[in-house]
Amino acid sequence: MDISFVAPSHPVSGIVLGADNGVICSTSFKITGDEHEFLQKRISKLRERSKYKVVFQPFFCQKNDSTRAMVQVADVAKADFSELDAQEIGAEIFVVVQDMLEEDILVDFSHQFSPGLVAHIAAGFKIRSFKFDKYKKPSPKHVAIKNAYFISSAPDLTAKAYRDIEAVADAVDFVRTLSSEVPNVLSPEAMANEAKNLKRFGVKVDILDEKDMAKLGMNALLGVAKGSAFEPYLAVCQWNGGAKGDAPIALVGKGVTFDSGGISIKPSNNMHEMKEDMTGAAVVLATMQMAAQLALPLNLVGVVGLVENMPSGTAQRPSDVVRSMSGLTIEIQNTDAEGRLVLADALFYAEKEFAPKCIIDFATLTGAIQVALGQEFAGLFSNDDNLCQKLAKSGDTVKERLWRLPLDTAYDVDIDSEIADVKNVGAGRGAGSITAAQFLQRFILNKTPWAHIDIAAVSYDKSSRTLTGVGFTGFGVRLMYAFLRSVVDDEGRI
């Protein structure tokens, strides 16, 4: 789908959504009775649902030939719109027009929205249009939208603003594409190749394979991969947009391309959902892409651990002990608590190798976070109040909200092991998300400001979100956009 910005005089055939009743429809259009009814239904449905009270009113007229168009007069009830409001309105517009069997649509809100906000309407429209249908044969009845035109009083200005927001929208879609992709295709190697592809944006990428990691002593990560026929990788990406020698911000992601649980195998009911266990890594890669596309003036490092967790004769066992890269030994009590093992080495590597000014990790880490927070907030854990506040504030502006949960030495007894320095599951006294975070903190050895974001419950939404609908949300990308922007505005301070 192509999105373009045009002046109010732009001629069009197809669907027209507009704010200005008379102008666009000065020529006449034809519409059949069936279409009239169809439109009415969709519009009344949307009117009920539209949180912005965008009233889409059908307005039909006739044209001399077979070209038809439908003009809907929008009346938006709220006066002050944020960028997010505009994006959500764009998403609502997409919901109305997606099944209308038109290749071209034109949206005119130029009377109510500034040229900058029109760009955000277009971005919301694009984000909501995401589909992952590569494995389905195309429906002969379906007509996809090919061209979406957005009228702006200053099309060039809007197009320029859109280029920036489009980089964010593309990054959101990148995460949703990877999360949707199937695990027989998206192996750790395929994911490492996705990282390599970032080179085309100017990102420096190094891929560590099994041998490289063995040399570094990354046995926590390597242990997880032992049951899989796929080789594990660690992808290390750098965007150097800031001053030379400036400490980077490090992002770390969990990339388990499929999590069967390993020998501590999961029940089969929802196991198919575990293809999305690489979403934390996808958020990190997408953020690297976005930072490079926007040429953000800061240094950013992304480290993602890529493995598959499978049961087999070579898989690691509950009761195994592994020595992590940090030197700390870990007793494996449950092979399904593998994400923290991958992160243990990735976090330690990021801190040791890059001495970053802060570390933020993304992981679909615990089912327990859904019990605690549902799908409204992602879990936030941190050793640093400033970093926490900045992240939570950034999350509020883009509605990817974070709720801080405690880290406390009182939880240490839960993960103390009789045989090793630490064990990989809590003692079964609840607080599963907290003991997981408490475990990760043990691998931040230099007390670098660090935040762990548990996205297990927010990466996929079963109830429809205005902007992303039902399905993978790409949660974390827009949060990182707001966060990195705020760091740039504060001249690099966290």
Site residues (vs Zn ion, CB under 5 A) = 259, 336, 338
Q: In which element (H, E) is residue 183 found?
A: none
For the CB of residue 346, give the shortest distance to Zn ion in the complex, in Å.
Answer: 16
Which residue, 293 or 335, has its beta carbon nearer to Zn ion? 335
How far is it, in rounded angstroms, from Cα 215 to Cα 3? 49
Which residue, 254 or 357, has its beta carbon nearer to Zn ion? 254
Q: Which single residue is written with the structure tokens 């970093």?
A: 387
Which residue, 88 or 308, has its beta carbon nearer to Zn ion? 308
Single out the catalytic residue among 47, 266, 399, 404. Answer: 266
Which residue, 88 or 259, has its beta carbon nearer to Zn ion? 259
Which residue, 90 or 432, has its beta carbon nearer to Zn ion? 432
CA dist 97 → 20, 265, 446 (Å) = 18, 44, 53
Which tokens hold the place of 273?
């959902």
For the CB of residue 256, give the shortest distance to Zn ion in the complex, in Å.
Answer: 7
How far is it, in rounded angstroms, from Cα 275 to Cα 285? 17
Which residue, 92 or 259, has its beta carbon nearer to Zn ion? 259
How far is it, in rounded angstroms, from Cα 429 to Cα 414? 8
Contact present, 126 and 3 (Cβ < 8 Å): yes
How far is it, in rounded angstroms, from Cα 234 to Cα 222? 10
Q: Who's near 362: CB < 8 A, 6+ residues apart?
A: 251, 252, 253, 254, 279, 280, 281, 283, 284, 453, 455, 476
Strand ranges (DSSP E) for 241-350?
A: 249-259, 299-309, 321-323, 329-331
Amino acid at 305: G
φ, ψ for residue 343 (rounded to 5)?
Answer: -70, -35
Residue nearest to Zn ion (CB): 336
Euclidean distance between the first and the last CA atom of the chain, given in angstroms as a whole number: 38
Which residue, 83 or 338, has its beta carbon nearer to Zn ion? 338
Amino acid at 272: H
Single out the catalytic residue among 68, 226, 340, 401. Answer: 340
Which tokens hold the place of 457?
């419950």
Q: Who's near 292: CB < 8 A, 6+ residues apart?
A: 198, 201, 202, 203, 239, 241
Contact present, 398 and 479 (Cβ < 8 Å): yes
What value does the CA radius of gyration of the chain take, rounded to a whole number of Å? 25
Which residue, 221 or 482, has its beta carbon nearer to Zn ion? 221
How far is it, in rounded angstroms, from Cα 123 to Cα 129? 10
For the CB of residue 115, give the shortest distance to Zn ion in the complex, in Å.
Answer: 47
Helix (H, G, I), strand (E, B) or coil at 179: helix
Contact present, 254 and 280 (Cβ < 8 Å): yes
**Catalytic site residue 196?**
no
For the CB of residue 284, give the shortest distance to Zn ion in the complex, in Å.
Answer: 19
For the CB of residue 425, give the shortest distance to Zn ion in the complex, in Å.
Answer: 10
**Catalytic site residue 266?**
yes
| Enzyme catalytic residues | 266, 340
